Amino acid sequence: MKIPISVQINGRQYDREVEPRLLLVHFIRDTLRLTGTKVGCDTSQCGSCTVLLDGVSAKSCTCLAVQADGASITTIEGLAGTDGLHQIQESFWNKHGLQCGFCTPGMIMASQELLRCNSDPSDEEIRHGLEGNLCRCTGYQNIVRAVRDAAGSMEGGSQ
Partner 1 sequence: MSASTFGSGIRRREDPRLITGSATYTDDINLHGTLHAAMLRSPYAHARIAGIDTSQASQAPGVVAVYTAADTEGELAPAPCAWLLPNSELKIADFHCLAKETVRYVGDIVAVVVAESQYQACDALDLIEVDYEPLDTVVEPKQAAATNAPQLHAGIEGNQAFHWTVTGGGDIGEAFEKADVVVSETIVQQRLIPNAMEPRAALASYKPATGELTLWSTTQNPHIVRFLCSLVTNVPEDRLRVIAPEVGGGFGSKIAVYPADFITVFCSKRLGVPVKWVESRTENYQATTHGRDHIQEIELAATADGKITGIRATVWAGMGAYLSTAAPGIPTILHGLMLSGVYDIPAIHEDVYGIYTNTTPVEAYRGAGRPEATFMLERLVDLLAAKIGADPAEIRRRNFIPKFDDGHDVVTGLTYDSGDYAGALGKLLDEAGYAQLRADQAAARENGRYIGLGLSTYVEICGLGPSQVAGAIGFQGGLWESAILRFHPSGKVHVMIGASPHGQGEETTFAQIVAGELGVSPDDVKVIHGDTDNTPMGWGTYGSRTTAVGGAALALAARKIREKAKIIAAHLLEAAVEDMDYEDGKFFVKGSPDSSKTIQDIALMANVAWNMPEGVEAGLEATSFYDPPNFVFPYGAHLAVVEIDPETGHVELKRYVAVDDCGPQINPVIVEGQVHGGIVQGIGQALWEEAVYDEGGQLLTGSMLDYAIPRADRLPDIEVHSTVTPSPHHPLGVKGIGEAGTIASTAAVYNAVIDALQPLGVEGVRMPLTPERVWRSIQDVQERN
Partner 2 sequence: MYAPEFQYYRAASVAEAAELLSKNPDAKILAGGHSLIPVLKLRLAAPSALIDIGRIEVLRGIECSSGTIRIGALTTHAELAASAELRARAQALAEAAGMIGDPAVRNRGTIGGNVAHADPASDLPQVLSCLGAEFLITGPQGERRLGASEFFEGLMSTALGEDEILTAIELPEAGAGEGSAYAKFAHPASRYAVIGAAAKVAANNGTCTAASVVLGGLCPAPVRAEAVERALVGRSLTDEAIGSASRATAESLDDDEVLGDVYASAGYRKAVAPVWVRRAVTAAASRSG
Q: Residue numbers of the site for partner 1 (CB under 8 A)?
A: 19, 21-22, 26, 29-30, 33-43, 45-46, 48, 75-77, 80, 85, 89, 92-94, 96, 98-105, 108, 123-124, 126-128, 130-131, 133-144
Residue 79 CA neighbour count, 13 Å, CB half:
27
Query: Does residue 144 bind partner 2 (CB under 8 A)?
Result: no
The Cα–Cα gap between 145 and 151 comes to 10
Three-class secondary structure of residue 64 per DSSP: strand
Between residues 26 and 57, which has the closer beta carbon with respect to partner 1? 26
Binding partner of 115, given partner 2, partner 1, none, CB within 5-8 angstroms per partner class: none
Q: Are 119 and 155 in contact (CB under 8 A)?
A: yes
The Cα–Cα gap between 66 and 50 comes to 17
- Strand (E) or helix (H) holding 17: strand 12-18
Query: Does residue 131 bind partner 2 (CB under 8 A)?
Result: yes
What's the one-letter identity of residue 121?
P
Of 21, 83, 84, 156, the residue at the interface with partner 2 (CB under 8 A) is 21
Residue numbers at the binding site for partner 2 (CB under 8 A): 1, 3, 19-21, 23, 42-45, 47, 50, 53, 56-59, 61-64, 66-67, 110, 113-114, 117, 129, 131-133
